Chain A
Amino acid sequence: MSLARFAVRRVVSGAIFALVVASLTLLLARLVPGDPALEDRLQRSPEEVAALRAELGLDRPFLTQYAHWLGGLLRLDMGRSSLYRRPVTDLVGERAANTALLALAALVVATGIGLPLGRLAGSTQGSLSRVVRALSLAVLSVPPLLSALLLVFIAARTGWLPAGGITSGGLTGAAWFVDLLRHLPVPTLALALPLAATLERLQARAMADTLGRSFVAASRARGLDADAAARVHAWPVSLAPVLGTYGVLVGALFSGSFVVEIVTAWPGLGRLLFDALSARDVWLVAGCGALGAVSLAAGTTLADIAHAALDPRVLEGRIE
């Protein structure tokens, strides 16, 4: 199979997958009893409630709502949020950008810490390797929920960094950027540390495997010393299986950022979804679900294609 055909097949199945998940989220969102028109119901007359329901399109049969929603989706119109009184598309876009910023920062930090440490731990056998390994295991045991709580606690206790939020507001230009940078470390580290530990373990394992493989042994036989062999041959080869797991990591980033955003009040997609769920904001919930499904599908698809490009065995179907 050529890489192009593989890519096309991946993209198509990714799209179908996104559609199915998005539809399921809408269905589940509608299954939950209660709707936004009931909020503040005590102070509203039945006529007001009926009007609000009609405005939100909740008075129509489910299939009509679904068809309407799918049609809107094609035009990038996902309805209006009853909680924020704004188009869902705008809201979801803004928040997704925040989540993307957080996820990207976490991915960069995790890669920057995890891969070099893994390379180090995988290519040596000494006490250094054991220290890295022990550290990784400890960090791996602090999942995002706990790391976020711990970091927020430290931030709140010491006042070194803001414990929550994305910016303090009211700032522009350079001051705004500096402020953003001050808010980033807590959620980023909470998300990145377990990830970095995972990457370190993977990289160490892959490195050790590759070093044991014959062609490295062959290059060693040609007279290169062990270090050079590791640097020249083993590192890029060992990178392929690690990159292959980035697809899975996208999922980890998503579920991890959901928790981290709630704990650190980071205004991302996870926090939005949570607020939308609490307020029974049907269209916003569905919008978050749709965007989450699309990004997840896109992330895994891209990672698969990248994996295939790096490791031709994938195309031959020898590796799932």
Chain B
Amino acid sequence: MVGLFGYFWWGSRSLAPTPDARPTVELPQRGGVLAASLRSEPRSFNRLVSRDYATQLFALLTQARLVRVNMATYELESWLAESWTSSPDGLVHTLTLRDGLSWSDGVPFSSADVAFTFAAVFDPRVKSVLASSLQVDGDPLAVATPDARTVVVTFPHPFGPGIRLLDNLTILPKHKLEAALTGGTMADAWGTTTAPAEIVGMGPFVLSQYEPGQRLTFARNPHYWRKDDRGIGLPYLDGLVLRIVPDQNAELLGLQSADLDLTQQQLRPDDYGTAREMERAGRLRMAEVGVSLDPDVFFFNLRPAMWAKDPRRAWLFTDTFRKALNHAVDREAYANTVFLGAAVPVHGPVSPGNKAWFWPDLPRYAFDREKSAALLAELGLANRDADAFLEDAAGNEARFTLIHYKGNTAIERGAQVLKESFERVGVAMDLAPLEPGTLIERMLAGTFEAIFFNYVATDPDPAMQRDFWLSSGSAHIWNISQKTPATEWEREMDALVNRQAANVDPAERVRLFRDVQRVFSEHLPAMYFAAPRLFVAVGPRVRNETPGVTRPQLLWSADTLALAAGAAPTSR
């Protein structure tokens, strides 16, 4: 019955063409309440102690930083600090705060709040999750406040990104939290049961209500300082609702029924078709935000201990084997199948979406099965029996197990395509889909052979991702937190990455990072195949969006989002 229903339904499907839903150019107006989805609950309203996505988004909406990285251009912009000067050695930065700013409860803002926030971050009782990101080579940044509008930040060592680092730092109100800090209860301050009136900030919105499991409701911050170029006070929106929805199906239905204006993040490739249909019906607009910064990553366990007693060690634990596999993948076909064509082939960890750091001339491994077969033969692998797979001289089959994320279509489909690609050159790969938590657990414990997953970097600047690049790093995924580099090339990469991070000359940094990428590509500790072009769906009444590639693609700039004038209020 189900099948027959579907058969006839599908047969009779037709879509009347509808007029293009794209808005004509109009200047953004004040007013309206926008509804967006959120797929997790905030753990805390205190950005200093929680780094989960909901808390970060909460901080973006209600709090402010001294400087801001524009997520559409990745340029550094003045924010609470209107200007700054840096010493020639790049160590001392003097920031001048905007005049006449005040917190959402009307209390004036001053450099004392900045000093307070630094003190809170580095207070060991707070155990702040931001502490490590505000250090250079293990030493904290120092801060001085000679007067109410001046903040002097001194770096312990030269650091390439400079005060870009301060984009991480949510400035907190001294007058509300000083007692908690001196009393040692800062770690528990601003939990999710805190009365909304207690949570003051300098962001465009203030929290007016949190109903667990349902929604977070925000109202305009009456004391917000930004104005648009026509002198209209921002934010344009009167308010914002973050609805907590269980999954992406619910998000799509929410968009369809106009209960939502925005979704938490980009569309899944398999929803493009549905979204296009809805777009033609005038239910939403799709916006392409650019190429993802974080292509899915495939890597082997490179801990020597893992392979010490493994009979496959002689070939599985070699650069040549990885090169052979890298040659066996047709990246064009991969992009077509996995991302339905909406992707660009990539050859290294830096995707073309990362415009500042992408290197188009990175050495590539062309799709070439013969080359791949030749490399495998070089390792002594040959087909010695009746099956389709190769064996080494001792009769061990060329076979390994890949664990990958479960419930992520692109990863699952990608794993299938890789499995088939490797099979074509005689290498067998068993697939084991795992819940993300279980997979990470195995990765940290080192109990895996190969992993295929997605790793989201926080910042496009490589100096901000040294966790990944350095052999001692906690996100050096193929061999985490090494005491000393396990290989010569990792030692070389460590040195290059450190020199790159400590350099303050942008051109020299780009050159050094190319060297890093070259070493990476020669030894292939991780392989990359395609980076998707990302699309977001927005409700038809949303105006003036400035999409970025990383989430929140639209809410990063919530103060300039607007709704069409005269649009019906949310919900039918």
Contacts and interface: CB of A to CB of B under 8 A. Distances in A.
Given A85-B192, A170-B571, A163 B253 contact: yes
Contact of B250 (A39, A170, A265): A265
A153 B247 contact: no
A138 B4 CA distance: 15
B18 to A, nearest CB: 15
Contact of A165 (B35, B253, B444): B253
Interface string A73-92: 00000000001111000010
Interface in B214-231: 214-215
A149 interface: yes
A85 B43 contact: yes
Interface stretch (A43-51, A190-198, A239-247): A43-51
Interface size class of A (residues with CB under 8 A): 35 or more
A84 B212 contact: yes
A48 B129 contact: yes
B259 A168 contact: yes
Contacts of B7: none
Interface in A5-54: 33-34, 36, 38-43, 45, 47-48, 51
Contacts of A38: 437, 440-441
Interface size class of B (residues with CB under 8 A): 35 or more
Interface string A274-286: 0100111000000
Contacts of A47: 127
A149 B1 CA distance: 12
Contacts of A165: 245-246, 250, 253
Contacts of B214: 169
A233 B192 CA distance: 61
Contacts, number: 102
A119 interface: no
Given A149-B2, A168-B571, A170-B571, A34 B259 contact: no
A256 interface: no
Interface string B189-228: 0001000000000000000000011110000000000000
Contact of B52 (A40, A42, A265): A40
A271 B444 CA distance: 30
B475 interface: yes
Nearest to A163: B253
Given A34-B437, A38-B437, A84-B212, A267 B246 contact: yes
A164 B43 contact: no
A114 interface: no
Given A164-B249, A267-B213, A84 B127 contact: no
Interface in B87-142: 127, 129, 132
A146 B192 CA distance: 39
Nearest to B43: A85
A81 B347 CA distance: 42
A171 interface: yes
A267 B245 CA distance: 10
Contacts of A280: 437
A232 B307 CA distance: 81
Interface string A162-191: 111100111100010000000000000000
A157 interface: yes
A85 B212 CA distance: 9
B276 interface: no
A209 interface: no
Given A149-B2, A170-B570, A265-B247, A162 B212 contact: no
A150 interface: yes
B533 interface: no
A94 interface: yes
Contacts of B80: none
A156 interface: yes
B41 A85 contact: yes
B373 interface: no
B2 A153 contact: yes
B474 interface: yes
A34 B213 contact: no
Nearest to B212: A86
Nearest to A167: B214
A156 B127 contact: no
Nearest to B442: A34
Contacts of A43: 51, 129
A149 B249 CA distance: 13
Contacts of A85: 41-44, 192
Contacts of A275: 246
Interface of A: 33-34, 36, 38-43, 45, 47-48, 51, 83-86, 91, 94, 138, 142, 146, 149-150, 153-154, 156-157, 159, 162-165, 168-171, 175, 265, 267, 271, 275, 278-280
Interface of B: 1-2, 5-6, 9, 35, 41-44, 51-52, 127, 129, 132, 192, 212-215, 241, 243, 245-247, 249-250, 253-254, 256-257, 259, 435-438, 440-441, 443-444, 455, 474-475, 570-572
